[in-house]
């Protein structure tokens, strides 16, 4: 049985979310996730935020097609639905009817915004990753040799560089490895990240299924590995 109530509470803290309702299957799995937003965040970005937050905090991997996002003209006016992403049709009405809930204060969770890959003969491949924490946006970059495998590695390193900027200490996190792995007729990115605290160190691991691109999955895998550590540094 998945922690659906905790998942609803988590999604409610995401930027622009007014209310959320998760419809379970008979076996307790996620059937659909209906999210009502103010429109300050684009529907597609909200879907990515939901995927990233659920994976990082609860280890829940939800197909983006199960997430329905309805946007209201005015906050708290769910009848004014103007756009929907994810599940369409009848799901839009269900999303608009989602029970209202208070928006929690965004914590220290880093959310995926964008990944950009550029290649050149002189510099090889350069990756720029943009992450968001609440209203703050952070950008980090990394470079490497041009190849399919190195693109994933460079994306993971760029994600760590972005997190390091947000934490103000680039020596704490380092990438131990990044691999593309095929399993269950799907492709995944697995990463290992070492965090150092004084003389001690610990290995954190994360993974993400390749959907949009391997580079995006690499960034999400890093977030999967590091978000609990980042959240634990609050205060």
Show me where the domains of the chain are located: 4-96, 111-232
Q: How confident is the model at residue 122 (pLDDT cuts 50, 70, 90)?
A: low
What average pLDDT is seen over the chain? 76
Whole-number pLDDT of residue 129: 94
Rounded mean pLDDT, 71-76? 52
Whole-angstrom Cα Rg for the chain: 18
CATH class held by domain 4-96: alpha beta
Q: What's the pLDDT band for 127 if we cut at 50, 70, 90?
A: very high
The model's pLDDT over 82-111, given as tens digits with 9 standing for 90+, comes to: 334 443 333 333 333 333 332 233 345 778
H helix or E strand, kind and range, residue 72: strand 67-72
Question: What one-character DSSP code corresponds to residue 201?
Answer: E
Predicted structure pTM score: 0.55
- Please determine, for residue 172, whether its predicted confidence score (pLDDT) is greater than 70: yes
Cβ 111 vs Cβ 52: under 8 Å: yes
Kindly report which listed range (16-30, 89-103, 193-207) carries the lowest average pLDDT score: 89-103
* pLDDT of res. 90: 35
Given a cut of 80, whether residue 146 has pLDDT beyond it is: no
Q: Would you say residue 46 has pLDDT above 70?
A: yes
> pLDDT at position 169, please?
61
Q: With a cut of 80, say whether residue 121 has pLDDT above it.
A: no
The residue with greater pLDDT, 59 or 89, is 59
Distance CA 117, CA 137 (A): 18
Dig out the tokens for 69 from the structure: 């996002």
Q: What is the pLDDT of residue 106?
A: 39
The CATH code of domain 111-232 reads 3.30.160.270
Beta-carbon neighbour count of residue 69 at 10 Å?
30
Query: Cα(77)–Cα(37) distance, rounded to whole angstroms?
Result: 10
């Amino acid at each position: 049985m998945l922690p659906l109530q905790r998942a609803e509470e988590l999604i409610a803290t995401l930027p622009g979310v007014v209310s959320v309702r998760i419809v379970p299957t008979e076996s307790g799995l996620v059937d659909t996730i209906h999210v009502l937003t103010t429109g300050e965040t684009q529907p597609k970005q909200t879907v990515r935020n939901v995927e990233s937050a659920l994976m990082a905090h609860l280890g829940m991997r939800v197909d983006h097609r199960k997430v329905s996002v309805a946007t209201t003209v005015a906050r708290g006016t769910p009848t004014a639905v103007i756009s929907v992403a994810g599940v369409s049709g009848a799901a839009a009405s269900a999303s608009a009817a989602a029970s209202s809930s208070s928006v929690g204060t965004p914590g220290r969770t880093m959310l995926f915004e964008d990944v950009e890959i550029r290649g050149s003969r002189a510099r090889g491949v350069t990756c720029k990753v943009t992450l968001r924490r609440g209203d703050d946006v952070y950008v980090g970059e990394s470079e490497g040799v041009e190849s399919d495998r190195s693109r994933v590695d460079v994306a993971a390193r760029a994600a760590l560089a972005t997190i390091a900027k947000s934490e103000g200490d680039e020596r704490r996190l380092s990438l131990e490895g990044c691999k593309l792995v095929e399993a269950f007729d799907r492709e995944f990115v697995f990463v290992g990240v070492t965090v150092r605290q004084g003389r001690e160190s610990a290995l954190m691991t994360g993974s993400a299924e390749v959907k949009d691109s391997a580079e995006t999955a690499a960034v999400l895998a890093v977030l999967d590995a590091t978000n609990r550590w980042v959240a634990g540094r609050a205060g």
